[in-house]
Structure 1
Amino acid sequence: MAFENPSRDKIKELLEQTKTIAVVGLSDKPDRTSYMVAQAMQMKGYKIIPVNPTVQTVLGEKSYASLTDIEEPVDIVNVFRRSEETVPVAEAAVRMKVKPKAFWLQQGILNEEAAAVVEAEGIEAIMDRCIKVEDSILLPRR
C-alpha cells in the first residue's frame, strides 16, 4: 500500500500540541532553507533544537550531533536531508530517549522505508511537506 500523509486535520492537531521541534540538518547559514524555516517556526513560539554535528549553535540554541544525544522530549523531528539519507535518521528517531510524536520530511524529501521505520514504532510519518507552510495555513494566528 502506498504511503499517505495524515489528513490536514491530524496535522493541525499535531502542530497545536507541538512545543519542541528537532531540526536535522539545520544549517547556521541564514540563506539556507533549513535556517529560514526553523527561524520562522522559532518566531511562532516553537522551541527549535538543531541537529547538525558540524555546528555548535544555531538560532541561539545548542546543536546536537545526533537525535540520540537529545535528553529532553521532542514533539516533531523535522528533517532536511536528502531522501536517500533519511533511513538512518528514522532509525535514530526511534532510539531517542523519548520518542517523538512525528517524523517530518521536508518538501521534496520522500522515503517510504524511513516512514515504515518510524510508523512501526507508533510515530506519525509526514513526507514531502514544508512544516512552515503547513503551520502558516493551519495555524495562521499562532
Structure 2
Amino acid sequence: MEKNIDSLIENFLQIQTIAVVGATNKTEKWGYKVFTTLQKHGYNAIPIHPTLSEIQKIKVYPNLTKACQEHHIEGVSLIVPPSVALEVIQECHQHGIQHIWLQPGVESQEILQWANQHSLPLIYQRCILKELEKRHTTST
C-alpha cells in the first residue's frame, strides 16, 4: 500500500491544474494554505467554494462541475468534511478525474468503499503540504 500511495503522490504532483475543493479566503484555514501553497509551487490551483466569488482576485467556482466547464481539471485536492467529500468524489468520477487527494480527516469508510467499488484511486492519510515541502527541500 505504501509504495502504491507514493506512486499516486508522484503522479499527482506531476499534473498542473488542480481544483482545491474547500479553498477559502480565511488565511488560518487549511483550505487557504493548500490553495496558496499549490500556487506558490507553480500549479494552476482552481478554488472551489459554494459561497465565495474570489480568493486573491482569482475566480472561485461553486462546484467542481462548473470549474470543469472552464478548465481542464487534472486533479482535485479536498479539504472538506467527509459528508461533502463523497459527492465531490462522485463528481470526479463523472468527469474522469483520476488524481484525487483527500487531506487528513476527509476520508471515511463510506468514501473509501465507494472509491474502491468504482476503481478510483485515492490519496489519503497524507498531507499535500508536507509532501510539497519534502520535494521542495530535497530539490534545492
Q: TM-score, normalised to structure 2's length?
A: 0.82
The verdict on how the C-alpha distance between 1:73 and 1:116 changes in structure 2, with shifts beyond 3 A counting, is: farther
Residue 52 of structure 1, CA deviation: 0.5
What RMSD in Å do the two structures reach over aligned CA positions?
Answer: 2.2
The verdict on how the C-alpha distance between 1:54 and 1:39 changes in structure 2, with shifts beyond 3 A counting, is: same
Match of residue 26 from structure 2:
29
Q: Please, which of 14, 18, 37 is the counterpart of residue 15 of structure 2?
A: 18
What is the distance in 2 between the residues matched to 1:47 and 1:122?
Answer: 26
The verdict on how the C-alpha distance between 1:115 and 1:59 changes in structure 2, with shifts beyond 3 A counting, is: farther
Q: What's the secondary structure of 1:124's corresponding residue?
A: coil
The verdict on how the C-alpha distance between 1:115 and 1:103 changes in structure 2, with shifts beyond 3 A counting, is: farther
What is the distance in 2 between the residues matched to 1:27 and 1:87?
Answer: 20
Unaligned runs of 5+ in 2: none
Would you say 1:136 and 2:133 are equivalent positions? Answer: yes
Residue identity opposite 1:93 in structure 2: C
What is the distance in 2 between the residues matched to 1:58 and 1:12?
Answer: 27
Percent identity over the alignment is 26
What is the distance in 2 between the residues matched to 1:59 and 1:121?
Answer: 36
The verdict on how the C-alpha distance between 1:119 and 1:47 changes in structure 2, with shifts beyond 3 A counting, is: farther
Residue 116 of structure 1, CA deviation: 4.0
Residue 117 of structure 1, CA deviation: 3.5
What is the distance in 2 between the residues matched to 1:19 and 1:91?
Answer: 21
Match of residue 43 from structure 1:
40
Give CA deviations for 1:76-119 in whole Å, capped at 9, x if unaligned.
211111123221111122223xx223121102222233234445
Give CA deviations for 1:18-55 in whole Å, capped at 9, x if unaligned.
10110111111112121012101110000111111210
What is the distance in 2 between the residues matched to 1:25 and 1:45?
Answer: 19
The verdict on how the C-alpha distance between 1:103 and 1:10 changes in structure 2, with shifts beyond 3 A counting, is: closer
Aligned residues: 136
Q: Retained in 1: the 8 A contact 2:100–2:123?
A: yes
Residue 8 of structure 1, CA deviation: 1.6
Q: TM-score, normalised to structure 1's length?
A: 0.81
